[in-house]
Structure 1
Amino acid sequence: MSTLDHIGRKIIAAIQSDGRITVQELADKVGLSASPCARRVKMMEDEGIIKGYSAVIDQAKVGLPVSAFASIKLEKQREDYLDRFAQAIARWPEVVDCYLMTGQYDYLMRVVVADLAAYERFLKTKLTRLEGVASIETSFALGQTKRSEVLPVE
């Protein structure tokens, strides 16, 4: 893992707030010339610090207004059960976030769907059919207070 210096952190902060920033604009913001700035960005991409670039999409405006948070408990916390679960959910586009957790449940996932009927279909045709799932508890978001992909690097 690379240790980021002050300039590296400034680059990350700028890219996080505007992923479409030009190299020249980025260089001006962080106090470098364009070539060294581009090299540093490329180095951070190669090291996996910068994993990619994407657009932030309004889920309601694309017909997916429902966020369901499912807490999953597996029958056993053995490696093969954990691996099988992770491999299955990686194929399901409805699952947009999933975390292996400590505490009462093994996983917490956010599922994005068009409506309650779509969540029910997801539950019946995918999640409950997955071998090794002992229990599922779902909560539905009433609204979103904050969402961010911006890490507090500075």
Structure 2
Amino acid sequence: MPENEKPLARIDRTDRKILEQLQADGSLTNQQLAERVGLSPSPCLRRVRALEDAGIIVRSVTILDHKKLGLSLTAIILIGMDRHTPERFSAFEEQIGQHPEVQECYLITGQNADYMLKVVVPDMDSYHQFLLNYVTRIPGVSGVHSSFVLRRVIDSTALPLDYLS
């Protein structure tokens, strides 16, 4: 195990309830959370802090409605690289990470691509500019295949906790 990686944490039924509630609504107060999971506030807060310290709870965020903010186009982009070297991948990842349009970036296998991006922009013109002015100018990008989301069928940030013992 790498030295900076913590061992897997033990999750009991109460921790699982806490995680389920926080995934559904991260804005719950400790009092509300404690009531929902059947604990008093002090032990509930200790458990939440322990889950944070273990790195299980990474951060809390607010999810925005992209369409109400005028970001109505979501693109999935498959990107091929000309060379498969750590330096090439590192440079790509550093440059693509500078663009807030990129919501997700994965190094993948099993496709005719090396990376898969999820990008959110206002419209097709904005996407075109993003693609031509940024993505295709990153050294090493040798191919780009774009697909556009017609409708979100499942859009969740919650992890499946049923697999935990």
TM-score normalised to the size of structure 2? 0.89
Partner of 1:130: 138
Following superposition, the deviation at residue 32 of structure 1 comes to: 1.8
Following superposition, the deviation at residue 124 of structure 1 comes to: 1.0
Specify the SS of the correspondent of 1:98.
strand
Partner of 1:25: 32
Partner of 2:60: 53
| 1:86 matched to 2:105 | no
Unaligned runs of 5+ in 2: 1-7
**Among 110, 114, 117, which residue is 2:118 paired with?**
110
> How many Å separate the matches in 1 of 2:89 and 2:13?
38
> How many Å separate the matches in 1 of 2:124 and 2:98?
21
Unaligned runs of 5+ in 1: none
Specify the SS of the correspondent of 2:63.
coil
**Among 131, 140, 156, which residue is 1:148 paired with?**
156
Give the residue type in structure 2 aligned to 1:21.
Answer: L
Residues 73-123 of structure 1: CA distance to partner in whole angstroms, max 9, x if unpaired? 111121111111111111110101111111121111011001111011101
The percent of aligned pairs where both chains have the same amino acid is: 40
Specify the SS of the correspondent of 1:72.
strand
Q: Which ranges of 4 or more aligned residues in structure 1 deviate by more than 2 Å?
A: none
> How many Å separate the matches in 1 of 2:109 and 2:120?
23
Following superposition, the deviation at residue 36 of structure 1 comes to: 1.0
Following superposition, the deviation at residue 3 of structure 1 comes to: 2.1
Give the residue type in structure 1 aligned to 2:23.
Answer: Q
TM-score normalised to the size of structure 1? 0.95
> How many Å separate the matches in 2 of 1:114 and 1:9?
38
Superposed CA RMSD in Å reads 1.1
Following superposition, the deviation at residue 128 of structure 1 comes to: 0.5
Partner of 2:107: 100
Give the residue type in structure 2 aligned to 1:100.
Answer: L
Residues 47-83 of structure 1: CA distance to partner in whole angstroms, max 9, x if unpaired? 2211111112111110100001100011112111111
